[in-house]
Amino acid sequence: MIDLPRYPLATLPTPITDAVRLRAALGGPSKCPRILIKRDDLTALGLGGNKARKLEFLIADALAQGAHTVITTGAVQSNHARMTAAAACIAGLRCVLVLTSRYDVPLVEGNLLLDRLFGADVRFVPSEDPMLAVGRDEEVVANVVREEAAAGRRAYVIPVGGSSAVGAIGYVTGTAELVGQLRGMGAAPTRLYFGSGSRGTQAGLTLGAKLSDAPYKLWGVAVSAGEPEKIERAKKAANEAAALLGVSARVDRDDLFTDQGFIGEGYAIPTAAGLEAIDLLARTEAILLDPVYTSKGFSALLYHVRAGDIPPTDTIVFLHTGGVPALFTREFAATRT
Ligand SMILES: *Cc1c(COP(=O)(O)O)cnc(C)c1O
């Protein structure tokens, strides 16, 4: 199905955990559906996560275009930025990260510490609301592109979250992998939950579900505001990805439902339900969720299970998209002292 250039970065296939201890803690098989966790936190690539699948196609595209440098953007604790820096090391590319932060000199911890270890050239764009610096960071990116050109280097710009059409292909192939595994297990889950940010994952999962005839309904859980613009972004990425793949499937606004009920106060602001999800999954399965994405996604799953919205005879899947370095920040530690 996929003959686009792909640069190997991830350790695939990722495993699936049958969360039997979590299920027991939620009342057992008479009350709680079977919960499978697709472990894309275990992709490898600088501590893993969903960006590894996108980067396999993005880095291959950068190399095909003769790039010397990759540039990307994000919040200061961006998992995507950290994994881009790791991928650049492996591919022999220079990496410049343009990161928004509330502070002129942010604490070197979590993902930012790893950015430093991977040798990325980090530029900060101070902003009260890191999510609203978009536009200002584009200006900085354009300057970096010019700087690189002046030094004789061709730059490849990866959009925030790696959520371009090329990046979305990572979750078209990721879906084929998951659906194959589920068939092998004889499982036909009714829902697939995942935390949804810049929407490249959703774009790939949505197109992939059509192409792989997936049994589940996609249950994206928003972790930040800005729904109308994000639906358009997902739709564009998905349909451009379909064009790249030469398939006739099309993705519509109606295919791109995202649950808005678990954002809390905003991007990267932990919720009580998310913090509880982190504890519960750590203590039952020794699986680590992150405070920004997966804990909010998982809190939606827990809410629906506890509300009895999902028949206990069903199977559901949670796509664990990674994010573990954000646990090692003072901000998260402050929730545990
Ligand atoms: C980036 C990210 C997501 C969201 O993926 P998008 O493609 O940006 O929607 C979810 N979880 C983690 C841990 C991430 O780093």
Mutate to test the pocket of ligand 1, among 80, 224, 293, 296 (most ligand atoms within 8 A of CB): 293
Distance 5 CA to ligand 1 centre (A): 23
Q: Is residue 4 part of a domain?
A: no
Taking 60 as the threshold, does the pLDDT of residue 130 lie above it?
no
206 lines ligand 1 (CB under 6 A): no
What does the DSSP 8-state code read for residue 322?
B
3-state secondary structure of 69: strand
Which atom of ligand 1 lies nearest, measured to the CA of 199?
Answer: 9
Catalytic residues: 78
Distance 245 CA to ligand 1 centre (A): 23
Are both 42 and 55 inside the same structural domain?
no
| Residue nearest ligand 1's atom 8 by CA | 198
pLDDT band of residue 127 (cuts 50, 70, 90) is confident
Q: Is residue 6 part of a domain?
A: no
Distance 3 CA to ligand 1 centre (A): 25
Are both 25 and 66 inside the same structural domain?
no
Are both 175 and 134 inside the same structural domain?
no
Domain endpoint, select from 162, 194, 229: 162
Are both 202 and 154 inside the same structural domain?
no
Are both 22 and 58 inside the same structural domain?
no
Q: Is residue 97 part of a domain?
A: yes
Are both 176 and 250 inside the same structural domain?
yes
Give mean pLDDT, residues 89-106. Answer: 94
pLDDT (tens digit, 9 = 90+) per residue, 292-328? 999 999 999 999 999 999 999 999 999 999 999 999 9
What does the DSSP 8-state code read for residue 216?
S
The answer to whether 300 and 266 have CB atoms below 8 angstroms apart is: no
Give mean pLDDT, residues 108-127. Answer: 96
Sign of the C-alpha dihedral computed for residues 182, 185, 189 and 193 taken in this order: negative
Mutate to test the pocket of ligand 1, among 50, 233, 256 (most ligand atoms within 8 A of CB): 50
Distance 228 CA to ligand 1 centre (A): 18
Distance 45 CA to ligand 1 centre (A): 15
Mutate to test the pocket of ligand 1, among 39, 321, 327 (most ligand atoms within 8 A of CB): 321
Distance 58 CA to ligand 1 centre (A): 16
Domain with 144, as residue range(s), is: 51-162
Contacts 24+ apart (CB under 8 A), 19-24: 19/281, 19/284, 19/285, 19/287, 21/284, 21/285, 22/280, 22/281, 22/284, 22/285, 24/284
Are both 205 and 275 inside the same structural domain?
yes
77 lines ligand 1 (CB under 6 A): no
294 lines ligand 1 (CB under 6 A): yes
pTM exceeds cut of 0.75: yes
291 lines ligand 1 (CB under 6 A): no
Which atom of ligand 1 lies nearest, measured to the CA of 203?
Answer: 7
Q: Is residue 7 part of a domain?
A: no
201 lines ligand 1 (CB under 6 A): yes
pLDDT (tens digit, 9 = 90+) per residue, 180-238? 999 999 999 999 999 999 999 999 999 999 999 999 999 999 999 999 999 999 999 99
Are both 266 and 239 inside the same structural domain?
yes
Pairing of strands 258-259, 16-18: unpaired
50 lines ligand 1 (CB under 6 A): yes
pLDDT band of residue 132 (cuts 50, 70, 90) is low
Q: Which residues pair with 99 in a beta bridge?
A: 74, 124
Q: Is residue 313 part of a domain?
A: yes
163 lines ligand 1 (CB under 6 A): yes
3-state secondary structure of 218: strand
Task: Return the pLDDT at 103.
Answer: 87
Domains held by the chain: number: 2
224 lines ligand 1 (CB under 6 A): no
